[in-house]
Chains A and B, each alone.
Chain A
Amino acid sequence: MALDRKIAYINLSTREVETKSIPLEMRKKFIGGRGMDAYLLYNHAPEGCDPLGPENPLIVSGGLLTATCASATARTHVMAKSPLTNLLGSCNMGGFFAPELAWAGFHHLVITGKADKPVYLWIHNGDIEIRDAQKLWGKNSTDTQWAIRDELDDQEVKSMVIGQAGENQVAYACVMTGIKNAGGRTGMGCVMGSKNLKAVAVRGTMDVKIAHPREALEHNKKFIDQITSAKVNQIQGALGTPFIWGATNCWGGVRTRNFQYNQMEYADEIEPEAIDDIATETMGPHHMTGCFGCQVHCRAQYKIQSGLYAGKYDEGPEYTSLGAFGAEPDCKSAETVLTGNHLVNQYGVDNLEIGSMIAWAMELYELGILTQKETEGIDLRFGNDEALLQMVHNICTRTGWLGNVLADGGIPAAEKIGKNAFDYLIQVKGMNNLHSDERATPGLALNIATASRGSDHLRSRPAIDLYHLPEPVLRKIYGSPVPYDGPLSSEHTEYIGKPWQVFWQENVYMAVDSLGICKYHTVFLGATLPNFEDWPDVIYYNTGLKFTPKEIWDAAERCNNLERLFNLREGLTRNDPKKGDTLNHRYFDEPCRRGAPDVIGKKIDRDKFNVMIDEFYDHHGWNKEGVPTSETLQRLGLENEPTRLL
């Protein structure tokens, strides 16, 4: 049964391991995956703990439906206090790790302490062993995985690892599995590095019993048909996330030159088609791969054909790599994009954050806030491909003054660089934004300002806002499972109704992250994809647990509130420019310079933005400071947290 998967507590300092069952009532309240992780983090992280200290728990999990007969439930979730934001650290990745963890008997791992020398965990059919990893230390993310397979003499082992960036405690280092699946955001790889934990290797052949196998099988088929019939997933399956590049750039939604522009001039040079020209194996219906059990297969495969890394095989690039190594540093070479993508995968670092950090440094260099003295001779101007790739190396290996400073993350770096460097850092809660520009889209701006892990689109973005869906369609989607009769607007440049959409999306994303489902299988990029109404059957057929759509919504809201409580406890306040629900001043002061006619000249209206925040808090049952009221906590059954039940 999925429900008999256990939770393991592993202390790397004392080498003690304890396992526990997960009570059903905890499943009903927190589901699994990210939701249960939020419970574990709030209960196990001491208030104000050092993110890089032994007491910070690193929580690794699969979702409730992981490794069952439900489509695309391969997501791994990792949570800890973030060394980048000093608030909630949380990342999510695809691949094959989480299902293997479930077949090995576990849904959650809570890893505390610090090993005195590099180690890795070997988890195999209920057993957990702490093994020496000194020979693995210094290896990149893929070599580490293959070396573990050879050492354990099993090519089916799946590992979650760190590359050199995690070892060097770059504040935004990733956890990685497979070629390019990355738990990218908030520096969970840095936390692993701080614990001297090089990898978690898993292999399992234990049954996950399906409660109603025939029904689960038939329902899975129906679900897959629903998912693959969506046009958005068909094109994802051919081009991956870069499919959205051209359109987004066209209307003016691609953050360029560290937010100076909202459109890249030479975007065509790094379009999927241009990348196709220089990569021998990429981006066609037969060069795509996917995560466990998924029929969308959105991940491209490629070989770099020329340059320093000619012949190297890799996966991607995703939209974020086009932004990180294209639009943001204003480099127009497909080869640079592929090379940068390869480097971040190998070092194990967040492409999004590193691209933003370098672009920020480029603007500071342009403004004279950074000079050749600080860059130690690197000509860090926009459009210098060589300097861009050199900085990727320098940050990941902490080489040179600037590389070392940028590796600490935006806010500490701004303090070290001094002057008014902070004003140019496009961050929320200390984390940089996706390479998208939200000045013309208030709903999307509200999403990044309030996202629980810092500036991020995958926490609450109402992406379908860009499709101008008719109001009745919006009402159908956003009016269930909780009735909503307030205003809704089909216009993406409007402010009205957006707080409800962001609130709804926040719950839908928490639900999928807790079930273990990928966001391409819910209302994210496609309006026709499954949501609350569709999940009770899947959960019931696979696990035997009964949920109503409203109960899933409630559980998601409960878990989102736990994340909120964690952030408040660690110092979030509404208007704090470094830890609050607010945006860089440029969103309010500098209008869009490029793009579609209804985008040029747009910026976020500060007063209307504040009204949106008020309304957003109100939907949650939070006060004007963004703190859940006691009635809200009571309604969600959180009034006694932390309860320490797990």
Chain B
Amino acid sequence: MEKFLTVDADKCTGCRLCEQVCSVMHEGVSNPAKSRIQVVKWEQEGVYIPVICKQCEDAPCMNVCPVRAISRDPDVGFMKVDQEVCIGCRSCVGICPFGAMGYNPAARQVFKCDLCGGDPQCVRFCEVKAVEFVPVDRVSAQKKRRSAARQSAAERQAVTTG
């Protein structure tokens, strides 16, 4: 079954291991500037948000591409850039609402998340499970359960404290 990459920012510790392993996996180098996932941090408040490509259904990157270099991979379901067709205009970098499309100035190419071909390394290395790779039919199941648990706990507390 198709799977989605999901983020739960509440769990993120801000360590950025995902950036390290992503760049090593794709480029053979350690360099967060070349990572497909990036953790945006507000250290002053202890807030850390991993930013990923959402592999949008109606993907702006695909729609904006003047040479149709971007299409959905039929096997794993990610949006794929065909570097043979790409003219390097960076329209996709400009239009992505999440900033998830990257540009490599040395290679003069755009780059983006390819879900590591179905085994995302960011997920494999994240011990706190701030990023997960979940089947499409369970994409909100865990969040729902956690939210319900919080609600239930709050209700119980309200009853006990009267």
Contacts and interface: CB of A to CB of B under 8 A. Distances in A.
A206 B113 CA distance: 20
A289 B14 CA distance: 6
B74 interface: no
The dominant DSSP class at the A interface is: loop
A292 B43 CA distance: 13
B127 interface: yes
A281 interface: yes
B11 A146 contact: no
A60 interface: no
A217 B127 contact: no
B interface residue count range (under 10 / 10 to 19 / 20 to 34 / 35 or more): 20 to 34
Contact of A288 (B13, B27, B28, B121): B13
A207 B44 contact: no
A208 B30 contact: yes
B28 A178 contact: no
Contact of A210 (B24, B32, B45, B48): B24
A302 to B, nearest CB: 9
B31 A220 contact: no
B30 A67 contact: yes
Interface stretch (A20-28, A293-301, A408-416): A293-301
Contact of B15 (A103, A146, A206, A290): A290
B96 to A, nearest CB: 19
Contacts of B34: 207
A313 B20 CA distance: 28
A291 interface: yes
B14 A313 contact: no
Contact of A289 (B13, B17, B29, B33): B13
Size category of the A interface is 35 or more
Nearest to B105: A205
A294 B18 CA distance: 10
Interface in A257-288: 281, 285-288
Interface string B12-54: 0111110011001101111111100000000111101000000
A294 B28 contact: no
A146 B20 contact: no
Nearest to A66: B30
B131 to A, nearest CB: 13
A179 B43 contact: yes
Indicate the member of B13, B21, B128 with the most A CB atoms within 10 Å: B13
Contact of A297 (B10, B15, B30, B33): B15
A208 B15 contact: no
Interface in B125-152: 125, 127-128
Contact of A207 (B21, B25, B27): B27
B15 A213 contact: no
A296 to B, nearest CB: 9
A209 interface: yes
Q: Which of A71, A213, A288 has the most CB of B within 10 A?
A: A213
B125 A286 contact: no
B68 interface: no
Nearest to B20: A293
Contacts of B128: 285, 295, 297
B156 interface: no
A295 B24 contact: no
Interface string A118-157: 0000000000000000000000001000100000000000
B15 A210 contact: no
B121 to A, nearest CB: 7
A347 to B, nearest CB: 17
Contact of B17 (A146, A179, A294): A294
A179 B44 CA distance: 7
A209 B29 contact: yes
B108 interface: no
A525 to B, nearest CB: 18
A209 B125 contact: no
A206 B29 CA distance: 9
A213 B11 contact: no
A66 to B, nearest CB: 10
A315 B44 CA distance: 10
A217 B44 contact: no
Contacts of A294: 15, 17
A216 B46 contact: no
Given A68-B30, A217-B21, 10 more contacts: A146-B44, A205-B32, A210-B28, A213-B25, A217-B121, A221-B125, A285-B128, A292-B16, A294-B15, A295-B15
Please provide the 3 A-B residue pairs with the shortest distance between their CB atoms, ordered closest to farther: A205-B33, A207-B29, A213-B28
